Chain A
Amino acid sequence: MTFEPNILSFCCNWCSYAGADLAGVSRFQYPPNIRIIRVMCSGRIEPAFILEALKNGADGVLVTGCHIGDCHYIEGNKNAEIRINNTKKALEKLGLDKRLRLEWVSASEGARFAEVVRDFTEEIKKLGQNPVKEVKINE
């Protein structure tokens, strides 16, 4: 049986969640591995959420927000960028950094949202199961 990764995504309410909605309305098909959590702004996403996700069965975490300059809250996404990059650095030491990705998707980019999800799912499939999950299962 092929490995089907678990992907958790955080979407900001204004751009990327709407972009995901548009992907739906446009019926752009993408793999069903992803589960979306809505937050108001990508600036709300705490590193702890990402770590918890990786601890709780996610093989990959996709954080999406408005393009730089388009943030509904002016610059929440800039803060998100700093935090996600820092989290990535911390994850590097655990060899998990490739399991976290930050992407900007606007409300009009339904096709792009689907493309990003397809691409990220493929990448995580290649990476294989999150090793943290194995430990947890064997516990």
Chain B
Amino acid sequence: MNDTETKSTETKSADVKSSDEKRVGVFVCECGVNIGGVVNTKAVADYVAALPGVKVTSVNKFTCSDSGQADIQQKIKEHNLNRVVVAACSPKTHEPTFRACIEEMGLNQYFLEFVNIRDHCSWIHMWEKEKATEKAKDLVRMGIERSKLLEPLEASEVPVNDTALVVGGGVAGMQAALDLGDMGFKVYLVEKEPSIGGRMARFDKVFPTNDCSICILGPKMVEVARNKNITIMSYSEVKEVEGFVGNFNVKIEHKSRYLDINMCTGCAKCSEVCPVEVPYDFNEGFGTRKAIYVSFPQAVPLRAVLDMENCIKCKACAKACERGAINYEMQPTYTDLNVGVIIAAVGFKTYDPEPRHDFGYGLYDNVITAMEFERLLNAAGPTGGHIVRPSDCKEPIRVGFVNCVGSRDKNTNIYCSGVCCMYTIKNAQLLKEKRPETDHTIMYIDIRTPFRGYEETYNRARNLGVKFLRGRPVEVKEDPTTKNICVRVEDTLAGEIRNLEFDLLVLATGVVPHEGINQIQQLLKLSKAADGLLMEAHPKLRPVDTTIDGVYLAGAASGPKDIPYAVSQGSACASRATILLKNRKAITEGITAVVDPDVCVGCGVCLPMCPFQAIKMDEKEKKANVMKALCKGCGTCVTACPTGALEQSHFKNSQILAQVKNVFKFPEVAA
């Protein structure tokens, strides 16, 4: 049966190709009530049915559904259509669906014209139904005129180098690297810090199970280091990215550690003798580290790093190093990589309340952030796991927690960071378990505990006696003698103002983009959302893809995420990337610039226009030449061409002008 069907399509495509007559079918989608509730789709179909070239029109409840697509295919057959106009939602989501649909019927996929009458019409003119209907008619008319000028194009294939680059060695990036490595692909894992592990390495315990964070992360870090397919490039940064899917050329800078990483054993004898002490960034500035140090005991790779900014060059470390690894003159080195895919798992930072002095942070000693609390709680932290208050190092009894600091606030970030409720509950619970005499009050706007085990953790904290007060502090002051923190807060459930005194106040700071995000965004040509974090190709259906083929996003760089979510995204990226890595080829758009050699005079104006060096001058013939594999199809060179020898396929001058000339109707023409 399949055979006969194929045969019949073959004959049809031959028929269609031989005919110059443009036979257009127009398919107007109601998208349920999304379009149909505003635009009179029947009126649109009736109007366009009378336009020249239109052989058939059809209105469907959901054109993208099986029956909607079957209707298109049937009408292509019945009416011998050679152009299909779909008036529906956005080509950005649905163009591939309908291209495949018409291709199945033997039509070239570029004979589809997609008209957006939902996102650009019905949804934005909800209360102007008549005007929206008139606008839809115009939009479809423009599409019909353009469709008649569409030309067949072939999508091209490019080879894919089966190696991957993962940027960011946090838990999401590690998972992506591990999955790809386990599948047998070569992976380069680039991390800007001296050790992989990311933010998770700094946490004490992780909700909802209260596992020791480094106890579950440490073995995974070692697993990454042991994986034969993974090369860790720590203390390194991506400096340049060129090329395209399957073939990215990347320059990596290895910052100087001022010691030979192959000779260093991480014994830390250098740190023991180093006389310089600087605030320990890994402990959020609590306690000190030396100018030469191993970032933390479980670091991978377990190697020292010399912080030249603070080094006094006393050379004590060089004398102490038995292996003579230290080199004060060491310069950064560079590696050029060629990779097929890039996974960006560049992470986040926590909101910094210092500049705005939110809730007295930075003004009063005993107001600290949750990350600082986390390090104090950690057995490997500056106090060996004892929570003390900074002013007098005494163990606090009354501890207040303020939620949503830098989140859900018009003055900072409007979004919910998603993780702060849970980590605050966890922190209060851990201290309560350690020291039952302590008294905890969590001041919140709403408590959000959406996933498995989270609500149970919340209940457990309440049963332990952690108090929850719904309200945001309006005033935070320090008692100058006791250094206690006095908080004025409205208990919005009881409807009364409360004046509370705490020994320590902990701010639940939210998830924000870190400084490096702009650099990676511009290097990879990614989009950034209004919240400053990176944007995925589609928030629901393509959550780890980007608009750049072969580039994927994992972890909190694309929005706040907890650990299981970040790990899932790491795996998801690996899975998406494998499609390219395994097939070793990628299909690229057929839309490119094309030169008409008969018209080209070889002036070379187009050459500097192309940022991808896709145009080369044939010096002998004095003609420009477009290399299709390099051309991304932007059309900038086409606009620059003074002779009209360059055209952008699928966006030819004639095709765009067909839309321009048919968009508005003059009164007398319309009448």
Contacts and interface: CB of A to CB of B under 8 A. Distances in A.
Interface string B188-212: 0000000000000000000000000
Contacts of A136: 666
A108 B609 contact: no
B307 interface: no
B123 A25 contact: yes
B402 to A, nearest CB: 29
B162 to A, nearest CB: 26
B149 to A, nearest CB: 14
Given A21-B119, A27-B124, A44-B636, A72 B529 contact: no
B487 interface: no
Interface string B626-657: 00000011111011100000001001010011
B668 interface: yes
A50 to B, nearest CB: 9
A100 interface: no
- Identify the interface centre among B91, B119, B668: most chain A CB within 10 Å of its CB: B119
Contacts of B42: none
B648 A69 contact: no
Interface size class of B (residues with CB under 8 A): 35 or more
Given A73-B632, A75-B611, A44 B648 contact: yes
B128 interface: yes
B663 interface: yes
A83 B639 contact: yes
Given A41-B636, A56-B660, A57-B663, A48 B120 contact: no
Nearest to B136: A32
B668 to A, nearest CB: 7
Contacts of B535: 107-108
B480 interface: no
B554 interface: no
A13 B139 CA distance: 17
A27 B123 contact: yes
Contacts of A21: 90, 92, 116, 119-120
Interface residues of A, number: 53
Contact of A74 (B119, B525, B547, B656): B525
A32 B142 contact: no
A12 to B, nearest CB: 9
B58 to A, nearest CB: 23
A108 B527 CA distance: 8
Contacts of A36: 116, 120
Given A29-B124, A56-B661, A72-B634, A44 B116 contact: no
B19 to A, nearest CB: 28
B634 A41 contact: yes
B248 to A, nearest CB: 14
Nearest to B632: A73
A90 interface: no
Interface string B142-158: 10000000000000000
Contacts of A6: 663-664
A133 interface: yes
B61 to A, nearest CB: 20
Contacts of A24: 90, 118-120, 123-124
Nearest to B635: A44
A114 B139 CA distance: 18
A62 B140 CA distance: 20
A137 B609 contact: no
Interface string B101-116: 0000000000000001
Contacts of A8: 660, 663-664
Contacts of A74: 525, 611-612
B124 A114 contact: yes
B659 interface: yes
Nearest to B589: A40
A76 B636 CA distance: 6
B547 A43 contact: no
A137 B666 contact: yes
- Identify the interface centre among B91, B116, B634: most chain A CB within 10 Å of its CB: B634
B634 A44 contact: yes
A37 interface: yes
Nearest to A58: B664
A120 interface: no
B131 interface: yes
Interface string A66-88: 00011111111001000100000
B461 interface: no
Contacts of B131: 32
- Identify the interface centre among B120, B638, B653, B666: most chain A CB within 10 Å of its CB: B120
Nearest to B134: A32
Contact of B124 (A14, A30, A45): A30
Given A44-B651, A57-B664, A37 B656 contact: yes
A13 B635 CA distance: 12
Interface string A98-115: 000000001111000010
A40 B119 contact: no
A53 interface: yes
B529 A108 contact: yes
Given A24-B123, A27-B124, A43-B634, A70 B660 contact: no
11 contacts: A20-B119, A24-B119, A32-B131, A35-B138, A35-B664, A37-B660, A40-B633, A41-B635, A46-B639, A56-B661, A69-B522
Interface of B: 90-92, 116, 118-121, 123-128, 131-132, 134-135, 138-139, 142, 521-522, 525, 527-530, 535, 547-548, 591, 609, 611-612, 632-636, 638-640, 648, 651, 653, 656-657, 659-661, 663-668
